[in-house]
Amino acid sequence: MSESAQDGARDGDVWGRVDDYLEAALLPEDPVLAAALARNAEAGLPAIDVSPVQGRFLHLLARIAGARRILEIGTLGGYSTIELARALPADGTLVTCEYSPEHAAVARANLEQAGLADRVEIRVGAALDTLPRVAGPFDLVFVDADKQNNAAYLDHAIRLGRPGTVIVVDNVVRGGRVLAGGDPATDGTRRMFAALEQEDRVEATALQTVGAKGYDGFVVARVR
């Protein structure tokens, strides 16, 4: 959801205009999220946040799952973190892993502004180093980090889950490049699909998406 695909068939700007229509029809204006995006841009963060309609999908998925504990792998400036944390009950918690100290600092400011700092813990450093020190179980896991490590992140997500945990892995179609691979991110995603093919701890599917962020898709899995 967060990375714009640079290739793959696209019908002009229709996907983006439809996203604009859906956002206007379904999502009220949100000054907090708008301010978070503005702060991200001012800090020079890449514009690879989930789109507003995708962010609301994550929020609703967390609420449908009744999530009280959420794990996010890949924070960036905290846009998706805000949507997920808002779905938590007052005593809920969210742990989010971010490689970049600079990105984490922006996310902290955005979470503070959103009034959510008390329920979100940011773990700074390479996720493969910080995840072994994270204690589960979590009710929902959102994976949106460096794609070359997707298979390892999936394994951690399952390990830190419990029966019924929902796992979402973003950017798995990559403009159709997942069919052939050939770059580290896509090859990492293909390794994750190969792992899912053999994985008996979860049941999973994947959906293709189009929209303002281009042509991509995501995996949704449930821990058995």
Q: What is the CATH number of the domain that holds 109?
A: 3.40.50.150
8 lies in some domain: no
Q: What predicted TM-score, i.e. pTM, was given to this entire model?
A: 0.94
- Asked whether residue 141 is domain-assigned, the answer is yes
Domain that includes residue 26, residue range: 14-197+211-223
60 belongs to a structural domain: yes
Q: To the nearest 5 percent, what fractions of the chain are helix, strand and coil?
A: 45, 20, 35
The answer to the question of residue 74 being in a domain is yes
Residue 31 covered by a domain: yes
State phi, psi for 204 to the nearest 5 degrees. Answer: -145, 160
Residue 3 lies in a domain: no
Q: What is the pLDDT along the chain (224 residues), one digit of tens a residue?
A: 555 444 444 565 899 999 999 999 999 999 999 999 999 999 999 999 999 999 999 999 999 999 999 999 999 999 999 999 999 999 999 999 999 999 999 999 999 999 999 999 999 999 999 999 999 999 999 999 999 999 999 999 999 999 999 999 999 999 999 999 999 999 999 999 999 999 999 999 999 999 999 999 999 999 99
As for how many domains the chain has, the answer is 1
